């Protein structure tokens, strides 16, 4: 039955019937369409664990005071509850950053989150404003791979605190949301799911045929997720969105191909270089063995010479004793 579902889930263009909401482009479209404001408010409310009345999108290109500095581009950049309200950057990271792994604690994605958060917070207009009047800044990172080891919590929040846990201030908050927890959360009764757990299941599993019933049950319980599900279906049926999704997937595949080629060529070049080094080492070792063999011959000759000397001495002693 699962195989049948998987077959029916692929349309004639070779793409899934429902496009994955955790894919970067689909995620941004889902939260930034003009008709998606309720979805933006509902999801960000859940991410921030705070009841929001409104969320207003802003330009995703953050202004830079330094023309030589890196120009940061956010996924979803918005202010909440008023024109001068707190600000929030929402990022979707479907796969690890280049060079990141669980072994090194996914350092890059954590530092990237801090960079985005500091960039967002420090680019507020500060003329004529007290520091205490700056708005709060939130950086929300959703990711579809394991970042924190030995953690079963679907959400982690970080602020400035000392060793005893005392908070310096709540001016900046980094929030990490683990989509890999979705399958475990989906085992719960839908009524028992929190808002954030419902959104985790939606973003991670809404495109999976085997979780269709679970998504439908969540949609019945939460109107905003029903809106998100309908919006995702509309996006998935859009020829232009499907074309963009295919283009992004082809670009990613091209990048993976190039990466694999670079790795293979690098490994080949390394082998060739090391083969030369090893060949030289083999010659050096052979020369050393030859030198050792010569030394052994010299030692053997010395031993023979010493033995002859001992024999002559013994002969002379015998002659003296006979006299």
Do 62 and 119 form a contact (C-beta atoms < 8 A)? yes
Do 223 and 198 form a contact (C-beta atoms < 8 A)? no
pLDDT of residue 68: 43
Could you tell me what percent of the chain has a pLDDT over 90? Answer: 46
pTM more than 0.85: no
Domain boundaries, the chain: 2-237, 263-323
Positions of the chain with pLDDT lower than 70, given as ranges? 1-8, 60-73, 102, 126-127, 150, 251-252, 254-263, 267, 323
Distances (CA, A) of 199 to 88, 202, 219, 260: 17, 5, 10, 35
pLDDT of residue 100: 73
39 contacts: CB under 8 Å, gap ≥ 6: 30, 31, 224, 227, 228, 231
pLDDT of residue 230: 96
112 contacts: CB under 8 Å, gap ≥ 6: 97
pLDDT of residue 31: 94
């Amino acid at each position: 039955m699962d195989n049948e579902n998987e077959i029916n889930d692929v349309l004639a263009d070779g793409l899934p019937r429902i496009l994955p909401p955790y894919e970067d482009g689909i995620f941004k479209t889902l939260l930034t369409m003009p008709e998606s404001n309720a979805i933006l408010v509902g999801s960000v409310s859940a991410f921030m664990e705070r009841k929001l009345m409104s969320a207003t999108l802003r330009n995703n290109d953050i202004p830079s005071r330094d023309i030589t500095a890196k120009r940061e581009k956010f996924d979803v950049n918005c202010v909440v509850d008023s024109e001068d309200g707190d600000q929030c950057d929402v990022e979707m990271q479907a796969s690890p950053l280049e060079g990141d792994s669980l072994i090194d604690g996914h350092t890059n994605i954590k530092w990237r989150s801090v960079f985005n958060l500091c960039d967002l917070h420090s680019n507020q207009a500060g003329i004529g404003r007290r520091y205490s009047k700056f708005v709060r800044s939130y950086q929300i990172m959703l990711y579809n791979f394991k970042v924190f080891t030995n953690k079963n919590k679907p959400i982690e929040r970080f602020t400035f605190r000392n060793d005893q846990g005392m908070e310096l201030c709540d001016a900046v908050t980094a929030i990490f949301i683990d989509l890999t927890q979705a399958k475990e959360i989906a085992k719960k009764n839908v009524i028992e799911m929190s808002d954030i757990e419902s959104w985790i299941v939606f973003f991670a599993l809404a495109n999976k045929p085997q979780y269709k019933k679970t998504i439908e049950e969540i949609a019945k319980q939460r109107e905003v997720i029903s809106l998100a599900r309908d919006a995702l279906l509309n996006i998935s049926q859009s020829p232009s969105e499907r074309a963009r999704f295919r283009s992004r997937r082809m670009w990613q595949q091209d990048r993976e191909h190039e990466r694999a080629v670079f790795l293979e060529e690098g490994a080949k070049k390394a082998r060739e270089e090391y083969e030369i080094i090893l060949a030289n080492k083999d010659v050096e070792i052979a020369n050393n063995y030859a030198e050792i063999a010569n030394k052994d011959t010299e030692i053997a000759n010395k031993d023979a010479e010493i033995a002859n000397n001992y024999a002559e001495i013994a002969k002379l002693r015998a002659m003296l004793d006979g006299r």
